Each structure stands twice: as structure tokens, then as C-alpha cells.
Amino acid sequence: MDLRHFFNKIKSEILQKQEEQKKDPKILETKSHWIKCPSCDSMMFFKEVENLNHVCPKCNFHMRIGANRRIELIADAGSFVEFDGDLHPTDPLEFVDKKSYQKRLEEALHKTGRTSSIVSGECTIDNIAVQLVVFDFAFLGGSLGSVEGEKIVRACNRALEKNQGVIIVSASGGARMQESTFSLMQMAKTSAALRKLDNAGLPFISILTDPTFGGVSASFAFLGDIIMAEPGALIGFAGARVIKQTIGKDLPDGFQKAEFLLEHGSIDMVTDRNEMKKTLHDLLKMFYRDVA
């Protein structure tokens, strides 16, 4: 089946289902349960953790959150306008491993209601307008494919047109294997777009969340004027197990954790999720003093 036709059909079905679920009180009830912190094993009431934006009140462990939640956290209420939501991937190599790429895309679409691992758009942060790009790890491990690269470039172009900054929140396993070279090309393509932003004196703030790896950390995610990370986020290029096997040595405690990277000068700051919006606003104000 033609991929575009397929995506449009499934997307409208999913949107309809989501609308129906919102009206169903049973769905809300199922969220009223206890959950266990994956870090300190404390049992907590789901609502309590949800109110803290999924940060453990006992040990400050930052649990993974989806793209929509992230946008709610950063953007002023109701200010986010999505762009390029209709872009969808193609399967140029007709890639098949255990499953076909097309099958994986279909499953990801059913799971997330999206056609890519990125949501991009424009919003305000305490009344400062920016282009915001957010990864959704639930869509094929937040992998970087042609659509994701294109969305980042378009966000940069909009920022250039409107004299705005760009914020990218990464959560990604890296380049998307199923798109091979097409996927790797996005590393250069996004880096080039960010260079244009830099030449225009516009800020790019990169936020690294758990996990940020591979082709994403090896390209735009580490090109920020400011690179910040959430506490405890795992960030690197290859995974710790692969590195350990390659060098044949034990790795130091806290290796690839946000705090380790900060200590070694790879990133600029580690920021609590609940302080993120205020920090972004302070940084943007500092950058925009020169732009405005």
C-alpha cells in the first residue's frame, strides 16, 4: 500500500480513538494507581509523581516522559503550534531485518499516533517566541531519519526568517539504521542548518534527556550554544557495554551520566526538569538582549 495513504488513514483513526478516550472516565480511573520508582524502589501514588512531572520526590530520579508532556512543561499554555506534522517517511531501501521497515513504521504509528520521532513547532516561553523541536523516544527509539532531519532544518529556517532561537530536546538512540546513508546524511544536514543560525547570531539551546546517543549526540545535540541535560540522563555515542568490550577496561562510576559529562566539561549545565522552563527563559532573555 502507498505509505502516504496508509499514514493518513491510520492517523485519523488514532486521533478519533484518542478523542473518544478523553471522554471516557474509565481511562482516567486507570491512572489512579501506585507506581514504583525505578531508581530508589519507593512506592508512590501515580498522581503525586505526575504532579511533579514524573520526578521522584524521594530521590529526584527523572523518569522518561513523552513529547506532548515535554511541550506542556516548556511552552506557555496553548502557545505551541505544530509544523510539518504531515511529513512521513519513505522506505527507499525496502529494508528488512527481523521485520520490514514499513511494518515497524506502521507499529510506531499505532503506538504514538505520529509519523516521525520528532514534534516540531513554534511556541512562546514566558512570552519569548522560539522554535521548539522535541524527540519522542517511543517512536522507533527516537531515531534520526530523513523526516526528522528535514523537520530540524525547517525549524532552523523558520527561526532565521523570524529572528528566533531554536531549542531541541533530544531523546534518541541515534541514526535510524533502516534508512542507512539517508539517515547518516541528516547529521551533516542538521549541522549545516545550525551553522546558518549561528552566522545569524541566533541562539540554539540543546537539551539532552535520557537517553541521547549515536548520530544525534554526534551531530546537532552537541552543537548547542548552551548544552544542558536532565539529572541522571545517559548520554554518549556508543553504549557503555560496547566501549568496555572494545577497550577491555572497567569504566568509571557514573560513566555517561549527565553529571559525569558536566564534571568533564562536555556539557554546560544539569538542570532539574521542574526548573527547565525558568532556566530556558533566563537564557533566552540573555541571548535576545543582543537580537532584539
Smallest gap from Cβ 274 to Zn ion, in A, equals: 15
Q: In 3D, which of 62, 119, 55, 68 has the Cα closest to residue 258?
A: 62
Candidates 7, 35, 37, 166; binder of Zn ion (CB under 5 A) is 37
Q: In 3D, which of 175, 259, 265, 181 has the Cα closest to residue 220?
A: 175
Smallest gap from Cβ 56 to Zn ion, in A, equals: 3
> Which residue has 482516567 as its cell numbers?
28
Helix 276-291 to helix 67-74 angle (10° resolution) is 60
Closer of 61 and 220 to Zn ion (Cβ) = 61
Smallest gap from Cβ 261 to Zn ion, in A, equals: 22
Site for Zn ion in 234-273 (CB under 5 A): none
Q: Which stretch binds Zn ion (CB under 5 A): 43-51, 59-67, 143-151, 211-219?
A: 59-67
Smallest gap from Cβ 254 to Zn ion, in A, equals: 17
> Which residue has 531515531 as its cell numbers?
143
Q: Which stretch binds Zn ion (CB under 5 A): 23-31, 38-46, 178-186, 243-251?
A: 38-46
DSSP string, 137-162: TTTGGG-B-HHHHHHHHHHHHHHHHH
Cα-to-chain-centroid distance, residue 289: 27
* Contact status: 40 vs Zn ion (CB under 5 A): yes
Q: Using H for helix, E for strand and C for coil, what is the string for 56-74? A: CCCCCCECCCCHHHHHHHH
Q: Which stretch binds Zn ion (CB under 5 A): 26-34, 36-44, 136-144, 237-245?
A: 36-44
Q: Which stretch binds Zn ion (CB under 5 A): 39-47, 80-88, 95-103, 121-129?
A: 39-47
Helix (H) or strand (E) holding 204: strand 204-212
Phi, psi of 119 (to 5 degrees): -115, 125
Smallest gap from Cβ 232 to Zn ion, in A, equals: 10
Candidates 7, 54, 55, 61; binder of Zn ion (CB under 5 A) is 61
Candidates 8, 39, 68, 157; binder of Zn ion (CB under 5 A) is 39
Residue 48 CB contacts under 8 Å (≥ 6 apart), including other chains: 57
Binding-site residue total for Zn ion (CB under 5 A)? Answer: 7
Q: Which stretch binds Zn ion (CB under 5 A): 3-11, 19-27, 52-60, 164-172?
A: 52-60
Closer of 63 and 87 to Zn ion (Cβ) = 63
Closer of 52 and 218 to Zn ion (Cβ) = 52
Beta pairing class for 81-83 and 118-125:
antiparallel
Q: Cis omega (within 30 of 0) on the bond before 211?
A: yes
Write out the residues near Zn ion by the rule CB under 5 A. 37, 39-40, 56, 58-59, 61
